[in-house]
Amino acid sequence: MTVLSSRPTLAYATRRARGDFESVSPATSFVDLPRVFTMHRGGVLRDGVVAYETFGSLSADRDNAVLVLPGLSASAHVASTDGDPRSGWWESMVGPGRPIDTDEWFVICVSALGGCRGSSGPASIDPKTGRPYGVTFPELALEDVAEAAAHVVRALEIDQLACVVGTSMGGMVALALLERWPSLARAHVNISAGLHSMPFAIAMRSVQREAIRDDPSWQGGDYTATRYPASGMRTARKLGVLTYRSSEEWSHRFARRRVDHRAEPFGREFEVESYVHANADRFSRSFDPNCYLYLSRAVDWFEAGQGVRGGPADALVMGVRTDLLFPPEQQQDVADYFRRRGAAVRHVVIDSDKGHDAFLVDVEAFGRPLSSFLNNRPWRIG
Amino acid sequence: MTVLSSRPTLAYATRRARGDFESVSPATSFVDLPRVFTMHRGGVLRDGVVAYETFGSLSADRDNAVLVLPGLSASAHVASTDGDPRSGWWESMVGPGRPIDTDEWFVICVSALGGCRGSSGPASIDPKTGRPYGVTFPELALEDVAEAAAHVVRALEIDQLACVVGTSMGGMVALALLERWPSLARAHVNISAGLHSMPFAIAMRSVQREAIRDDPSWQGGDYTATRYPASGMRTARKLGVLTYRSSEEWSHRFARRRVDHRAEPFGREFEVESYVHANADRFSRSFDPNCYLYLSRAVDWFEAGQGVRGGPADALVMGVRTDLLFPPEQQQDVADYFRRRGAAVRHVVIDSDKGHDAFLVDVEAFGRPLSSFLNNRPWRIG
């Protein structure tokens, strides 16, 4: 059994040394990975750690745990707690009386391996060199992110989860987890993800990665805080923002309104340009560029297996009509996939103009089916 | 009356000097703009020229002319001729026996002012300095592109066109033209355009322009053939290609097939990445980066007027179900706009997976309504 640990991770130390990534929550806990962790694609990670936060209380029977697997850039801080009162990335969905009700469920949110939110990743210090791994971090697959999350579940001495909830990339991580351990959870909620990435999404992420790699300050991954690929990260994030929402939403929200900013030729003139730029500018220094490259590529690589049988008895699959990255037909495929595995599946297409990110903002539309699924299903009693 | 001229343009000379843009067709003719040409946004262009090609024969009554206004990067070489047997950009649509039948119609295709396909633009030599204008070229609006096209029509001594056909950006140029001179054409075909650009398209073009401007080789617009923003142009074009087609098409065409290219970390691995890269690589040296910036911004700026009355008696408005840049509701707006101006309008939504660029490839789907419109309408006899 992997031991629980609360020492700060190397990733965290690096991040703090660079002084520029969003703080990992003080409520974060850490689990050591096995000292030699063999990765899905053959590489080896030594002395890795996985960061997570928990919310609510584990029942005496240890049967009320809900594992939340976040998207690419989100941390383990899914909601505020006494330990860290700052809003989490899914604040309105997780907490006492909320759709994922922490008065009832023991929620575990695990930070993705390969990212820069506390778990080991390319921004962590390589103990062999004393410097960040950068592109020497082993090739990362979503199967590794799933394996790391499983280590947290084991460390918490939970034999079976009540439910695994995965959003976006986290939805794919959930698929990887439930393929490796089909009976790890009695139920599953898969939100705005797919069995694999489609070529449009792959091509868009390819341009995002190229923008980072083409930034001369990327320096083959050996950037520093002072010589940092901020411009490439901004471009990558802008494309992210554009594909995370929908054309329909931009039209309602910004129309053709102008800002006065015309300081430079071809500068930002429309409100939409200004909004996207400000968002990207904030993001560019709050997420590690190499981690972005690794996770982005892992999303392209992932493919759910087709021969898996068994698994959760109940599944809720949700997606959004206007999602450009994982359009509704992909959630249909996820629903069919779990049906083939024997689950009772509810598939909900949310009619929102908020695109891929709708689950973060259309709380009511997502919260209602989620709440009903968590409250009424027979697997509720473990 | 502006005089006809067949001297090579300065733009052409520049392009040849740089040795890297696609050849302007030897069949190209040129019209001088007024020596002092006042631009829509207040600037002044001196000694400008407009490039065009013609196809078929002008009738004795000079009443069978069809003006074709191309998209952002297309030239005046819309189809092959004896003078230039190379395929044109709309080869299957224009020619003897084709939907725009040159046995019947005298087709004029005008290269956009501000571009680098023969008409004056930022890549042309500024006679005052002997160097390319670059960003000192006056601010360009699509109204200027329309005005330049009108000069060609006048130079050819045509009082009224049978029809104006505009595709993509050319559809907006057509709107500008028919607002300035409502009775210049008896009929109008507007393809895959809109009354204005939507914020999603603006934001996407903004990222494209930024990729060029952020390329250190752009050098404020003063690049040379040897120090040239090829990387920024490639990124811009990749986003172009991604928004010109549709997710649906990529899925049918590329699925998740791989290429073996793994020469560099995070290199191109999927066929879709490789395709988009090859397309962008070709484009990056075949279109002038500053011209791209000017035209791209002009498309963002354009807004059709709402108070115009009168105009063509008949209009055909076409668009595509999967167009990301100008989605079908925008063609509905164009159709309504011409109805308000008194036209009999036919609005056709093509059910194609080819997205914005479908008019270039789904020849039959576009050709049939176009052919029927051109052959059966009363305005056929001038």
pLDDT digits (tens, 9 = 90+) for B219-273: 999 999 999 999 999 999 999 999 999 999 999 999 999 996 565 778 899 999 9
Write the pLDDT tens digit of every residue in A192-249: 999 999 999 999 999 999 999 999 999 999 999 999 999 999 999 999 999 999 999 9
Both tokens of B373, joined, read: 């419109």
**Strand partners for A364:** none
Enclosing H/E stretch for A208: helix A199-214
Phi, psi of A140 (to 5 degrees): -110, 130
- State the pLDDT at residue A263: 56
Mean pLDDT rounded to a whole number for chain B: 91
> For chain B, how many helices (H) and strands (E)?
11, 15
Range of lowest pLDDT (A202-206, B256-260, B352-356, B369-373): B256-260
Band (pLDDT 50/70/90 cuts) for residue B23 is low
A221 contacts in chain B (CB < 8 Å): 265
H/E segment holding residue A152: helix A142-155
Helix or strand (DSSP H, E) at A30: strand A29-32
Over residues A117-125, mean pLDDT: 95
End-to-end CA distance of chain B: 23
Of B10 and B168, the one with more pLDDT: B168
State whether the Cα torsion A291-A296-A297-A298 is positive or negative: positive
Answer whether A216 sits within 8 Å of B211, measured CB to CB: no
CB A163 within 8 A of CB A155: no
- Does the beta carbon of B19 lie under 8 angstroms from any beta carbon of chain A? no
What is the rounded average pLDDT of the residues B148-168?
A: 97
pLDDT reading at B210 higher than 80: yes
Q: How confident is the model at residue A342 (pLDDT cuts 50, 70, 90)?
A: very high
Across the range A250-277, mean pLDDT stands at 88
Percent of chain A with pLDDT over 90: 87
Sign, CA dihedral B43-B47-B50-B51, equals negative
Query: Is residue B8 very low, low, confident or very high in pLDDT (cuts 50, 70, 90)?
Result: very low
Cβ of B246 under 8 Å from any chain A Cβ? yes
What is the pTM assigned to this prediction?
0.93
Asked if the model's pLDDT at residue A9 lies above 50, the reply is no
> Which pLDDT band holds residue A78 (cuts at 50, 70, 90)?
very high
Q: What confidence score (pLDDT) does residue A307 get?
A: 82
Indicate if the pLDDT at residue B60 is higher than 50.
yes
**What is the reported pLDDT for B379?**
56
**CA–CA distance, A113 with A39 (Å, rounded to integer):** 11
Is the distance from CB of A69 to CB of A192 less than 8 angstroms?
A: no
Among chain B residues, CA nearest to A201: B247
Residues 253-272 of A with CB under 8 A from B: 253-256, 265-266, 268-272
Q: Which of A32, A126, A323, A357 is catalytic?
A: A323
Whether pLDDT at B3 is above 60: no
pLDDT at B6 over 60: no
The average pLDDT across B13-31 equals: 63
Name the burial class of residue A60, with classes exposed (0-12), middle (13-18) and buried (19+) by CB atoms within 10 angstroms of its CB: exposed
Q: Which of B247, B277, B294 to mutate to test the interface with A (most CBs of A within 10 A)?
A: B247
Identify the weakest region by mean pLDDT among A1-5, A31-35, A108-112, A312-316: A1-5
B165: alpha, beta or left, given left = phi > 0 and alpha = psi -120 to 50?
Answer: beta
Alpha helices by DSSP H, chain B? 10-18, 142-155, 169-180, 199-214, 230-244, 247-254, 271-284, 289-301, 328-340, 358-361, 363-376
pLDDT band per the 50, 70, 90 thresholds, residue B191 = very high
What DSSP assignment string belongs to B243-278? HHS-HHHHHHHHTT-B-S--SSTT---BHHHHHHHH
Q: Output the pLDDT for position A18.
A: 41
Assign B380 a pLDDT band (cuts: 50, 70, 90).
low
| Catalytic residue flag (residue B192) | no
Helix, coil or strand: residue A255: coil
Over residues A39-68, the pLDDT tens digits come to: 999 999 999 999 999 999 999 999 999 999
- B381 has a pLDDT exceeding 60: no
Closest partner residue to B202 (CB to CB) among A206, A211, A270 is A270
Residue B15 pLDDT > 50: no
ipTM of the complex: 0.91
pLDDT confidence of A24, banded at 50, 70, 90? confident
- Which pLDDT score, from 0 to 100, does residue B5 have? 44
Residue A375 has pLDDT above 70, yes or no: yes
Pairing type for strands B314-320 and B185-191 reads: parallel
Percent of all residues in chain A with a pLDDT value above 70, rounded to a whole number: 91
| d(C-alpha A300, C-alpha B256), whole Å | 9
Residues of chain B neighbouring A326 (CB-CB closer than 8 A): none
Q: B236 Cβ partners below 8 Å, 6+ apart?
A: B208, B209, B211, B212, B292
Do B303 and A203 lie within an 8 Å CB cutoff?
no
Residue B378 scores a pLDDT above 80: no
Does A281 touch chain B if contact means CB atoms closer than 8 Å?
no
Cα A57 to Cα A13, A186, B148, distances in angstroms:
29, 19, 73
pLDDT mean over A108-131: 95
What mean pLDDT do residues A158-176 have? 98
- Predicted confidence (pLDDT) at residue B320 exceeds the cutoff of 70: yes
Residue A306: predicted pLDDT: 82
* Contact of A250 with B198, CB cutoff 8 Å: yes
Of the candidates B119, B120, B168, B246, the residue annotated as catalytic is B168
Whether residue B200 is predicted with pLDDT greater than 60 in this model: the reply is yes
* Catalytic position from the list B314, B323, B353, B357: B323
Are A315 and A331 in contact, with CB atoms under 8 Å apart?
no
Give the burial class of B182: count Cβ atoms within 10 A of its Cβ; 0-12 exposed, 13-18 middle, 19 or more buried.
middle
The tokens for A359 are 């689950």
Mean pLDDT on A111-128: 95
Best probe of the B interface among A256, A284, A292, A329, by most B CBs < 10 A, is A256
The answer to whether the Cβ–Cβ distance between B202 and A303 falls below 8 Å is: no
Residue B356 designated active-site: yes
Nearest to B144 by CA among B176, B166, B192: B176
Residue A16: the pLDDT is 40
* Known active-site residue B231: no
Structure tokens at B171: 């559809």
A65/A67 Cα distance (integer angstroms): 6
Spatial neighbors of A313 by CB under 8 A, at least 6 apart, are: A186, A187, A342, A343, A344, A378, A379
The residue-averaged pLDDT of A364-376 equals 94
